[in-house]
Chain A
Amino acid sequence: MTKYDEIINRLKGFAPEIRDKEFHIQRIMDRTMINSRKGNSIYDFIFGWFNILWLRRSLAAASVFIVLFFVFQQFVIVTRIGSLEKRMIEINTENILENQKENVIVNAAMFRITDEFNFTDSIKVAQKDLKSLVGSYRDLQKRYNELQDEIRYQKGEALVNPGSDNKIKL
């Protein structure tokens, strides 16, 4: 036995305990594989990262994060959009403007009424009630005109200017 063998045997006798054996094996294997495969192909060049443990783990974690973030964000969006259904109403801009026109006509009629009819024995009426009365009157007038038109149509008379007759203007 040479002196060298003797030293080796003595070192074997005091072999240190390696913690995280798997990790070190993997690391050594990865390094040796990079060196042995370096410059083998374009695929190795592009995907060489998978031999580097920390890079592989980081990219995997980033991928998982992106997927989870996507799922979470889509869930939140779908939930919020779903709740919009409760906020839907049956009206559009055209209706709003039509209502506004009707409103100003009714308001104007109301002011005319209050200006023109000032009786000494008059009673106080809430503006809202008066507005409702004028609105109902106008609606009734419209329906009455439509009915007149319908009667004329049934009789075979020509409708020159529909809805224009029998008008009682406020």
Chain B
Amino acid sequence: MKKKIFSFNLILLFTFLLSCGGPDALVINTVHADGSVTRKVILTFDKDEFDLYDCQVPIDSTWAIEKILEISDEGDSTWTLTAVRDYANVDLLNSDYEDYGGSNERMNRWVVFERRFKWFNTIYRFSENIEKAINGIPPEQYFTVDELHLFYMPDDLLDEKKKGADSLMIEELEDKFDGWLGESLVKATLQEIGSVADKIPGSEIDVEYLNTKSSELSNLILEDNLNEYEVIDSVFGKGYYEKHQVVIDSALAVVEDQFDVAGDADKYLVQTMMPGELLSTNGYIDNDGNILWKVDGDCFLSSDYIMWAESKITNWWAWIVSVLFLLFVATGFIFRVKKK
């Protein structure tokens, strides 16, 4: 029998996924008003063994690369590789994402830059997007606003918060996270079963009936001592798995494959600097005024992860034109009143 995929161990592995022993990456985008982007990638590792082609984001030898070795007071050595490239527009960046074959190659990523003229100001919007891995439950539908604030928070900050007043809330969030993950997997699997069943003539699977049992399934998949055969039979009745084994196994294989896109994600941090004054964002604003997002499997598991920021540049010439126009009209009316 196929190895059980929805085990609690897997969830634990997923939740607490570390950075696979490779370099840690910080990706810094400096967005310019003309739509060009300067991208700087800072890789940190304990040895001078950087594989540029296996980095979390696309880098190659054409980038301006610099390496520094640092030895701390405690005698620990760390290597820092900084790679910089200027992109004339986001299309070139997207093209690099398409050609990328590194550790995150299965992540579907793209960048969007928009510029909107609003007379007094020009609004700039930059977003880095990652397509969702499975058709699960979007975090926005499952967690509260406060929980989401912690959910998307970079790990280092979250660790700091655990030591403070938010520790209880973070513990609750970790518990709730398991529930969300279970329900998302069940939703995606049931959808896939329905989709596979539709393609097989004479399939007797009633998708609506399956959906009525989704909460029972979600609770059971978190049980470590049950395999998928036992989970399915205990919810839908003895012999159900065997009867629909082909459909169920095909659906599980598809969902497992989709899940791996998020589960195998090599995490990194994205920092963005926008032109002009920052207006709004769904990222976190650090002390230097830069916008920060974490990228890991949780973030794009069941909903598209859109890391966006908007800023404005004041069009002073438009202000001057407007003020002169208003003065002109006002003066005209004053003359009219006087001449009457």
Quick check: is A126 within 8 A (CB to CB) of the other chain?
yes
- Residues of A contacting B42 in the complex (Cβ-Cβ under 8 angstroms): 97, 100
Interface string of A133-170 (1 = CB under 8 A from B): 00000100110010000000000000000111001010
Closest to B162 in A: A132
- Given A70-B120, A89-B285, A97-B80, also A127-B73 (CB < 8 A): no
**List of 8 A-B pairs having minimum Cβ-Cβ separation, nearest first:** A128-B16, A108-B46, A100-B24, A100-B44, A92-B287, A50-B336, A80-B280, A50-B332
Quick check: is B127 within 8 A (CB to CB) of the other chain?
no
Chain A nearest CB: distance from B142 CB in Å?
20
- Residues of B contacting A73 in the complex (Cβ-Cβ under 8 angstroms): 118-121
Contact between B336 and A89 (Cβ–Cβ < 8 Å)? no
* Separation of A51 and B310 alpha carbons in the complex (Å): 45
Closest to A79 in B: B280
Quick check: is A2 within 8 A (CB to CB) of the other chain?
no
Number of A-B contacts (CB under 8 A): 148
* Separation of A80 and B280 alpha carbons in the complex (Å): 6
- Residues of A contacting B310 in the complex (Cβ-Cβ under 8 angstroms): 80
Interface-side segment among A3-11, A17-25, A57-65? A57-65
Interface string of B302-336 (1 = CB under 8 A from A): 00000000101000000000100110011111011
Known: A107-B18, A107-B46. 16 other contacts (CB 8 A): A63-B326, A63-B329, A66-B326, A70-B120, A73-B118, A84-B285, A86-B149, A87-B282, A89-B285, A90-B157, A93-B290, A97-B80, A100-B44, A103-B19, A104-B78, A145-B74
What is B's interface to A at a CB cutoff of 8 Å? 12-13, 15-16, 18-19, 21, 23-24, 26, 28, 42, 44-47, 70, 72-76, 78, 80, 118-121, 149, 153-154, 156-157, 160, 269, 271, 277-288, 290, 292, 310, 312, 322, 325-326, 329-333, 335-336
Contact between A84 and B46 (Cβ–Cβ < 8 Å)? no
* Separation of A2 and B18 alpha carbons in the complex (Å): 113
Which interface residue of B47, B70, B326 has the most chain A CB atoms within 10 A?
B326
